[in-house]
Amino acid sequence: MCLEDAGLVEKGEIGPFYESTDTTYKGEFPINTDGGQLSGGQPGLAGGFRHVIEGARQVMEKAGSRQVQKDDLCLVNG
């Protein structure tokens, strides 16, 4: 729903969007390039600033094996 609220996906179209779009770090619309909250969260906490750090790493081309191809823009929501 965040993608809809941000205007990146039409309202009510998030299901079809995910069905037809590769959102892996190698896909055309990478989301949660570091695995997201379930992969790197802290038990009982929201995970702090890690989303911003991953976005900065991507834009600076310092994300290592998770590096996306087009890295000139990112959106962090938390």
Map out the domains of the chain as residue ranges. Answer: 2-66
What is the chain's mean pLDDT, rounded? Answer: 86
Quote the pLDDT of residue 44: 61
Count the alpha carbons within 13 Å of 73 in the hemisphere toward its beta carbon: 1
| Mean pLDDT of all residues in 37-50 | 67
b/e per residue, 26-54, with b = 16+ CB within 10 A? Answer: eeeebebbbeeeeeeeeeeeeeeebbeeb
- 49: confidence class by pLDDT, cuts 50, 70, 90: confident
For the whole model, what pTM was predicted?
0.76
Which span out of 19-23, 27-31, 32-36, 43-47 was modeled with the highest average pLDDT? 19-23
pLDDT at 40 over 80: no
